[in-house]
Amino acid sequence: MNTLNTGQENGNWLGHARETARGIRGRTLEFTIRNNGGYLSQACSSAEIFAALYTKVMKLGPSEAPMIPPPFPGVPGPGNRGYFTGAAYNGPKAPHLDRFYLSCVQYALVLYAALVELGRMAPEGLDMFNKDGGTVEMIGAEHSPGHEITSGSLGQGLSQAAGIALGRRLKGETGRQWVFMSDGEFQSGQTWETVQVLSHYKLDNVGVYVDVNGQQCDGRMTDVMNIEPLQMRLEAFGARVYRVDGHDIEALAAPAVLEPDGRPLFVLAYTDTSRGMEILTERKPKLHYIRFSDEAEREQYRTFLKQNFPGK
């Protein structure tokens, strides 16, 4: 069980983080083979980011949610008092504790795999992925494990986290808001509206990790709609930006320990969509959703799984 991570006291966090990243890849690959499809390249690019966030960056308490995710409680509304969010998988809400917001919920499978690796959700939870009547949805919503908001319409996650950040600051709470975003979201106007507001109101209790994998649904981002130079664009909006190797866990974690200086923090994690699964390389750049063309290809991936992720 992953308990409060304040950093220094856990000397072996780096080893734990690397194991977590490896576990995320293995679980996602195993699931994709079984399901004959999945958001696999997202796991390749973001495994270290999730591992760094959950083992080092975020101050979270232990999960308060059931290990086996409960069934869908119905949509929120005045007639549904039994509604819950999946935030309890990230621990209790407390003034000094951080919160996590997955903005690009197409990464939900990766988050679920991370929760399993970290002992916050039972492995059976992953088996419930995309099953009718469940909460472990393919594109996560606020009732899904590890989710607190509904952000499947891309660009809305950061705005909601910014509103929460202001609310918590007004209440004198010290916990920070950590947001995981995809680089594609920086094509959306709402994202820039939010960066503008974060800077204007000096909401430095917001930290954003961006998986800059350069890929989106239609293909390479440089072909679909270029967003570079992202660092300069964000800095011009008043953000504090660090550009790091997105597979270097220490580099990923380093900006989070800096004293906040009034600027919103952005960590641009440049990543590789086939990292740790070289077998994916030949499919580039069409990696948004992996579906096997025939049984032979699926068998190839099964062999790769056995060789590279024994025990999965």
Q: What is the residue whose two structure tokens read 């099964």?
A: 302
Nearer to other proteins, 153 or 281 (CB): 153
Give dist(CA 180, CA 244) in Å, integer. 15
Stretch in the footprint of other proteins (CB under 8 A) among 24-32, 124-132, 197-205, 237-245: 197-205
Nearer to other proteins, 55 or 156 (CB): 156
- Under the binding rule (CB under 8 A), the answer on residue 200 touching other proteins is yes
Does residue number 201 form part of the binding site for other proteins (CB under 8 A)?
yes
If binding is defined by CB under 8 A, does position 82 make contact with other proteins?
no
**Is 76 buried (19+), middle (13-18) or exposed (0-12) by CB count in 10 A?**
middle
Site string for other proteins, 147-186 (x = CB under 8 A): --xxxxx-xx--xxxxxxxxxx-xx---------------
Least gap, CB of 72 to other proteins (angstroms): 14
Contact 121, 115 (CB under 8 A): yes
Of 194, 205, 216, 274, the one binding other proteins (CB under 8 A) is 194
User: Please, are residues 211 and 246 in contact by the beta-carbon 8 Å criterion?
Assistant: yes
Q: How many CB atoms lie within 10 A of CB 112?
A: 30
Q: Are 216 and 284 contacting, i.e. CB atoms less than 8 angstroms apart?
A: no
Do 32 and 92 meet the contact criterion of CB atoms below 8 Å apart? Answer: no
Query: How far is the C-alpha of 170 from the C-alpha of 231, rounded, in Å?
Result: 29
Any contact of residue 6 with other proteins (CB under 8 A)? no
Is position 78 an interface residue for other proteins (rule: CB under 8 A)? yes
Indicate whether 95 belongs to the interface with other proteins (CB under 8 A): no
Measured from the CB of residue 27, what is the shortest distance to other proteins in angstroms?
29
User: How many helices and strands, by DSSP H and E, does the chain display?
Assistant: 10, 7
Q: Taking the complex as a whole, how short is the minimal distance between the CB of residue 187 and other proteins, in angstroms?
A: 14
Does position 75 bind other proteins by CB under 8 A? yes
Chosen residue from 127, 193, 248, 250 binding other proteins by CB under 8 A: 193
Q: What is the CA radius of gyration of the chain?
A: 18
**Ranges of H-type helices in the chain:** 13-35, 40-52, 108-117, 123-127, 156-170, 189-200, 221-224, 230-236, 249-253, 295-308
Query: How many residues contact other proteins, by CB under 8 A?
Result: 32
Q: Which is nearer to other proteins, 22 or 99 (CB)?
A: 99
Among 190, 231, 300, 308, interactor with other proteins by CB under 8 A: 190
Considering the complex, state which of residue 28 and residue 90 has its C-beta at the smaller distance from other proteins.
Answer: 90
Q: Ramachandran region of residue 133, left (φ > 0), alpha (ψ -120 to 50) or beta?
A: left
Nearer CB in complex with other proteins: 58/149: 149
Site for other proteins in 108-147 (CB under 8 A): 142
Residues that bind other proteins (CB under 8 A): 75-78, 142, 149-153, 155-156, 159-168, 170-171, 189-190, 193-194, 196-197, 200-201
